[in-house]
């Protein structure tokens, strides 16, 4: 299953609402996770099951969607949110990741 | 506290075999719904899932690499080992040990710090 993210990069100001989309080449139900990765660090899970916030993740992060179209939203962008974000499907093997979206602060 | 830590060589020659060990703590691979596996990430690219071993001994591997991969576990030592044969420069990447749980919709909820492996003569 191919995962396609858009945009590949986004530049936004602190306080802005940022939306990243992920499209699956086949329906995956709600078997989708979102990860945040900062330079030199391992990815960290933000959202699992398409819309469930992982423990400890700030409430400004939210996920939605099912089937083939999914969205990660940062409701009010903070400086520490500068990172690359990946989606990943867990519906069927081989598990696959999107190509990533780089979020930068203006 | 849950931790996973990878160990192994940082440099391997083409055609050699890579062996990576993951030592984990804070959870058991005997617990229902738990899996431990490997993901790699070439510099500047997206992560690529490689293999998973589950609590019930179910084993999953990337079809494109299956002929080269072996994944084993030693539950008593809290250890998972990945072996990849016939290494090539395109296998240069950071290799991560990860925990996977059915309870979080099969997401990878804990990651090791990663170990960079360079394939070069």
Q: Are strands A101-105 and A9-12 parallel, antiparallel or unpaired?
A: parallel
- Give the rounded percent of residues in chain A with a pLDDT score beyond 90: 100
CB contact under 8 A, B46 and A97: yes
Query: What confidence tens digit (pLDDT) does each residue in A25-34 have?
Result: 999 999 999 9
Considering chain B, what is the average pLDDT of its residues?
A: 96
What residues have CB less than 8 Å from A96, skipping those under 6 apart?
A1, A2, A3, A88, A89, B49
- Partner residues linked to B71 by β-bridges: B82
What mean pLDDT is reported for chain A? 98
B95 bridge partner residues? B40, B115
pLDDT in tens, A44-78: 999 999 999 999 999 999 999 999 999 999 999 99
Q: Where does the pLDDT of residue A87 fall: very low under 50, low under 70, confident under 90, or very high at 90 and above?
A: very high
Q: Which tens digit of pLDDT belongs to each residue from B2-30? A: 999 999 999 999 999 999 999 999 999 99
Q: What is the mean pLDDT of residues B44-49?
A: 98
- Chain A residue with minimum CA distance to B49: A95
Give residue B62's pLDDT. 97
Q: Under an 8 A CB cutoff, do B63 and A86 touch? A: no
Q: Give tens-digit pLDDT for A1-17.
A: 999 999 999 999 999 99
Beta-carbon pairs below 8 A across chains A and B: 65
Which pair of tokens denotes residue A81? 């949110």
Contact B96 A52 (CB under 8 A): no
Residues of chain A in contact with residue B54, where contact means CB-CB under 8 angstroms, are none
Q: Can you point out the beta strands (E) in B26-76? A: 34-41, 48-54, 59-61, 69-74
Q: Which of A38, A39, A31 is nearest to A89 (CA)?
A: A31
Reported residue count of chain B is 121
Contact: B105, A44; criterion CB under 8 Å: no
CB contact under 8 A, B108 and A100: no
Check if the beta carbon of residue B52 is closer than 8 Å to that of residue B65: no
pLDDT at B116: 98
Q: Indicate yes or no: CB of A42 within 8 angstroms of CB of B107.
A: no
B101 min Cα distance to partner chain A (Å): 11
- Best of B4, B47, B99 to disrupt the A interface (most A CBs within 10 Å) is B47
């Amino acid at each position: 299953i191919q995962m396609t993210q858009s945009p590949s990069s986004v530049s936004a100001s602190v306080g802005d609402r940022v939306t990243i989309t992920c499209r699956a080449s086949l329906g995956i139900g709600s078997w989708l996770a979102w990860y945040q990765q900062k330079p030199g660090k391992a990815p960290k899970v933000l959202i699992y099951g398409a819309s469930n916030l992982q423990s400890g993740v700030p409430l400004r992060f939210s996920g939605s969607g099912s089937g083939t179209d999914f969205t990660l939203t940062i409701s009010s962008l903070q400086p520490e949110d500068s990172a690359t974000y990946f989606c990943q499907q867990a519906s069927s093997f081989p598990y696959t990741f999107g190509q990533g979206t780089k979020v930068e602060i203006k | 506290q849950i931790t996973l830590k990878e160990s192994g060589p940082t440099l391997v020659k083409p055609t050699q075999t890579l062996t990576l060990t993951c030592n984990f703590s804070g959870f058991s691979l005997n617990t229902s719904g738990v899996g431990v596996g490997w993901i790699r990430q070439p510099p500047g690219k997206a992560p690529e899932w490689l293999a998973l071993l589950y609590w019930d001994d179910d084993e999953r591997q990337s079809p494109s690499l299956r002929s080269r991969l072996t994944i084993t576990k030693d539950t008593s030592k809290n250890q998972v080992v990945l072996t990849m044969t016939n290494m090539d420069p395109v296998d240069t990447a950071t290799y991560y040990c990860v925990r996977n749980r059915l309870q979080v919709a099969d997401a990878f909820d804990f990651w090791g710090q990663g170990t960079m492996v360079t394939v070069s003569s």
